[in-house]
Amino acid sequence: MGNVLIIDDHLTTCTMLQQMIERIHHHAEYCHELVDGLNKVRTGHFDVVFLDVNMPDGNGLDTLKQIKEMSDPPEVIIITGVGTKSGAELAVKNGAWDYIQKPLSPKEILLPIKRVLEYRENYRKAPKSLSILKRHELIGNSPQLSQCLEQLARAAENESNVLFTGETGTGKEVFARALHANSCRSGNRLVTVDCSTLPDNLIADTLFGHEKGAFTGADRRTTGLIKLADGGSLFLDEIGDLDPNLQKTLLRVLQEKKFMPVGSINEVFSDFRLIAATHKDLKKMVKDGQFREDLYFRLHSQVIMLPPLRERIEDIEILMMHYMRKLAEKYNKESKGFSPDYLDTLKAYNWPGNIREFMHAIEDSFHAAGSESILFAKHLAENIRIQAIRKSIDTVEPQISEIQEKVQPSSTTTLPTLRHYRDAALDEVEKSYLLQLMAITHGKIKEACSIADIGRTRLYNLLKKHNISRKNN
C-alpha cells in the first residue's frame, strides 16, 4: 500500500484527492500549509506528494527543492491552477515527477500514482550500487553530491555516453575518472583529451594518428588518442570548445567507432566508451549555430549536472579536513587544526572557482600559518575574508534597521538606555542566527551545536528563550 501526502490550501481539492486515492486502497492525508507539509514529509514515510504551487505561506516550487534534498525523498507531483511553461521546466529541473494543471481528472491522478509506486517498488528491490562505489576524490555527503553519486553509480553499470556539465572547477574530470574506475572498462585506459587546448593544425593527427610519410616530418607511424582508448574510455573535456569542422567527423566516429588516420586509406576500429564534459550551455550553442544538434543529442544519453560548491556548504568542513591531511602528507608536516572563524569564513565565501579554487585556498592558508598548529581566518586570502565580512554586514544591516525602528524614540519619549538598546539589538541578531541554524541543520541538535560551537544545554536555553521550535528535527 502506498503512502500519499497532499499539500494544498483548498479543502475541496484535498478531500477529492484523498477519496480518489483511498478508493484504490492507498493511504492519503493532507495539510493546507507548506511548513506543515515539510514537517510531515520529514517525519513520515511518503511515497508520493501532491504539491500545490501557490500556497498561503510560500511557493510550492521552492518547497519542492527542499523535499528532494532530503534523504530518501518521496516523488513529487506538482498540481497548479496557473500552469506555465517556465514553471513546468523549473519543476522538472528540481526533481518533480510530473506537473499537472487543475482541474484534476481521475486519469491524470491515478496513472501517475500507479507509475510512481511501480518505480519505487523496483527502486527498493534494485541492488544499491552506491554503497560499493569507488569514490576516489569525490568527497562529501551533501544531498546534492549524493544525488550525483547515485547517477554516477547507475551510469557505471551501462555503456551509454555520459556528459558531465557544471561550472568550471566543480570536479568534472574527477567524476570522469571515478566513472571509468567503476565501469567494466576499468582494466583498460582512460584517455583524456582537452578540447580547449587542441592546436588547430594538429587536431586530426592528435585524435586519429598518422601513417609514415603522411606529411613532411612524419618519419614514423603514430597512434592517435582515439585508438589508445580502445577497450577503455575516451574523455573529451571541454567538448563545447571542439572545433566546428571536427564535430561532424567526431559524430561519425561515435556512430561507427571507425576513423581514418591521416595519410591512410584504411579505416581503424576503436571500441571506446565516450565520456564528455563542458561548462558551456550546449543547448544554447546549438540554437546559436555553434554546436551540431546531432552531436548534442548523441552526447545527451546520460547527463550529470555537478553542483557548484556554494550549493553544498555541508561538504565544506569534510573537504577542508581531507585536503589538510593530504597537504600534511605531501609536505611531511603535522596536520593543522582550525578555529571556528576559519570554518565560518570558508562557508561564507561564494567560491566562484569551486573545488579548484577551494583546494588552492586551503593550501595557501596551510603555508601562511607556517609552524602554527591552528588555522584562523587571518590565514586565508584577503578576497575570501572581505567577501565573508561583506556577507555578514549584508545580513546584519537590515536587522539593525529593523531594531532601530523598534527602539526609535518619538517626540514624546526619551531615548532608551544604552543597555536596553544593545540588548534589543543582540536579541534580534541572536534570534535570526538561531532560526538560520535550525533551518540549515534541519533541527539536528548535535550538528547545530557543532556549527554554533556551544553546548546542548546552552542551545536548548536559547531556543526556549526565543520561542524557537525544533520543527525540522
Q: What is the pLDDT of residues 36-56, one digit of tens each?
A: 999 899 887 899 999 999 898
Contact 209, 215 (CB under 8 A): no
pLDDT of residue 126: 55
How high is the pLDDT of residue 455?
86
Q: How confident is the model at residue 420 (pLDDT cuts 50, 70, 90)?
A: confident
Task: Decide: 40 and 17 in contact? Cβ < 8 Å.
Answer: no
Q: What is the pLDDT of residue 123?
A: 67
Nearest-angstrom CA–CA distance, 459 and 354: 32
Its CATH architecture, for the domain 310-384, is Orthogonal Bundle (1.10)
Assess contact for 40 and 6: CB atoms under 8 A.
no
- Bridge-partner residues for 269, per DSSP? 258
Residue 453 CA to residue 120 CA, distance in Å, equals: 40
Q: Is 162 helix (H, G, I), strand (E, B) or coil?
A: strand
User: Would you state the pLDDT for residue 367?
Assistant: 94
How does pLDDT run across 116-144, given as a tens digit for each residue? 888 887 766 655 455 568 887 899 988 88
DSSP code of residue 262: B
**Higher pLDDT residue, 453 or 131?**
453
* HEC per residue, 111-140: HHHHHHHHHHHHHHHCCCHHHHCCCCCCCC
Question: Does the pLDDT at position 473 exceed 50?
Answer: no
**How many Å apart are CA 146 and CA 150, to the nearest integer?**
6
Q: Give me the residue spans of the domains in the chain.
A: 3-125, 143-307, 310-384
Higher pLDDT, 404 or 356: 356
Please measure the distance between the N-terminal and C-terminal CA atoms of the chain and give it in whole angstroms. Answer: 27
Kindly tell me if the per-residue pLDDT of 402 is higher than 70.
no
Task: Give Cα separations from 145 to 178, 406, 442 (angstroms).
Answer: 14, 43, 18
Distance CA 398, CA 401 (A): 5
pLDDT for the residue numbered 399: 52
pLDDT of residue 414: 63
- Mean pLDDT value across residues 341-351: 91
Distance CA 101, CA 81 (A): 6
Mean confidence (pLDDT) of the chain:
86
User: Per residue in 64-98, pLDDT tens?
Assistant: 988 987 867 899 999 988 777 788 888 888 888 88
Angle CA 298–300–304, to nearest 5: 150
* Pairwise pLDDT comparison (413 vs 132), residue with the higher score: 132
What are the cell numbers at 400? 539593525
pLDDT value at 261 more than 80: yes
**Other residues' Cβ atoms within 10 Å of the Cβ of residue 24:** 15
Domain spanning 3-125: which CATH class is it, in words? alpha beta
Per-residue cell: 121 = 517498488
What the block records as the C-alpha cell of 305 is 549536472
Residue 358: predicted pLDDT: 96
Indicate the DSSP class of residue 312: -
Please state the length of the chain.
Answer: 473
**103 upstream amide cis, omega within 30 of 0:** yes
CATH 3.40.50.300 fits 143-307, yes or no: yes
Q: Letter for the amino acid at 38?
A: L
pLDDT attached to residue 128: 46
Average pLDDT over every residue of 368-374: 91
Q: Within 10 Å of residue 415's Cβ, how many Cβ atoms?
A: 10
Alpha carbon of 438 to those of 35, 143, 180, 448, 460: distances in Å?
14, 17, 39, 7, 12
Q: Residue 45, by phi and psi: left (phi above 0), alpha (psi -120 to 50) or beta?
A: beta
Please give the Cα distance from 306 to 167 (Å, whole number): 8
Per-residue pLDDT, averaged over 442-464, amounts to 84
pLDDT top residue among 440 and 138:
138
Per-residue pLDDT at 472 exceeds 50: no
What is the tens place of the pLDDT at every residue in 150-203?
Answer: 899 989 989 999 999 999 999 999 999 999 999 999 999 999 999 888 877 778
Q: Is 463 exposed, middle or buried (0-12, 13-18, 19+ CB in 10 A)?
A: buried
| Cα radius of gyration (the chain) | 28
Q: What is the mean pLDDT of residues 296-318?
A: 92
Task: In whole angstroms, give the CA distance from residue 114 to residue 119.
Answer: 9
Q: Are 426 and 466 in contact (CB under 8 A)?
A: no
Taking each continuous run of H as one helix and of E as one strand, the counts in the chain are 19, 18
Is the per-residue pLDDT at 223 higher than 60? yes
* pLDDT for position 31: 94
The sign of the CA dihedral 361, 362, 366, 367 is: negative
DSSP annotation of 308 reads P
Residue 300 pLDDT > 60:
yes
CA angle 35-38-42, nearest 5°? Answer: 140
pLDDT at 319: 94
**Predicted pLDDT of residue 237:** 95
- The neighbouring-strand residues paired with 151 are none
Whether pTM exceeds 0.75: no
Q: Please give the Cα distance from 254 to 239 (Å, whole number).
A: 14
Domains 143-307 and 310-384 share a fold: no
Query: Which 8-state DSSP code applies to residue 311?
Result: G
Burial bucket for residue 178 (CB in 10 Å: 0-12, 13-18, 19+): buried
